[in-house]
Amino acid sequence: MMTIEFKGSHFERDVFLWGVRWYVAYPLSYRQIEEMMQERGVEVDHSTLHRWVLRYVPLLEKAFLARKRPVGSSWRMDETYMRIKGVWKYLYRAVDKAGATIDFLLTANRDRKAALRFLYKAYGRHGVPQKITIDKSGANTAAIDSYKTQHDADIETHQPKYLNNIVEQDHRAIKRVLSQTLRLIRRLYGGRHAVGGVGRWRLTSRAVTSSGISSCGVCAGMWPIRSATASSRR
């Protein structure tokens, strides 16, 4: 089980993870977070917050994936479009019937090949589901049929009118926080992985419970922290 180390740091673990979570989860600038930290007795420069984000976000992503809860066997799959650096892209996503995020994939095209790539990615991480609910997209239907033919898989496909509302409505929440997270993840990985930053927080919003991370409340909302006076200004 992965544990993130904070040895030799000026601050306690809670302070690091609080600052990182605020930047990734909400549309806040480093200077705004600096001010919010100061209001809570923590003197830290915005440039230091930037270094924290670059250092700890990749580690948190790995830890979150390792602790993600299992998903259900009935999936809702859909895609939406979004503009990234002036270019329209397609975001393939799937959730289970309880609304838990299964996986996601950013692609340049909306076709059978792109949908099949997404299915292989999701199946590789979670196994093959018993049922997939999709809209009337011919590309998604063709991709599922192609996988079933190639692997002799027994997957039920449904196309009801309203059952996919849960994933379609979830797209709105993703888009609300996407612009902020795109700026961050591009610095770490480049544009193709930008959407991953949003998804990781959603994948693990209720899943991280081990002492290595959850005690800081990074996935549990807001909490008070004790005063800290050490400064990281340079």
Q: Which of these ranges, 137-146, 153-162, 167-176, has the smallest mean pLDDT?
A: 167-176
The rounded mean pLDDT for the chain is: 75
The pLDDT tens digits for 50-89 are 999 998 888 887 887 777 788 899 999 988 888 877 888 8
The pLDDT of residue 67: 78
Could you give the domains of the chain?
1-68+204-234 (no CATH), 74-197 (3.30.420.10)
pLDDT tens digits for range 203-222: 544 444 343 444 343 333 33
Tokens 């290595």 — which residue?
A: 212
Q: Residue 217's pLDDT is what?
A: 39
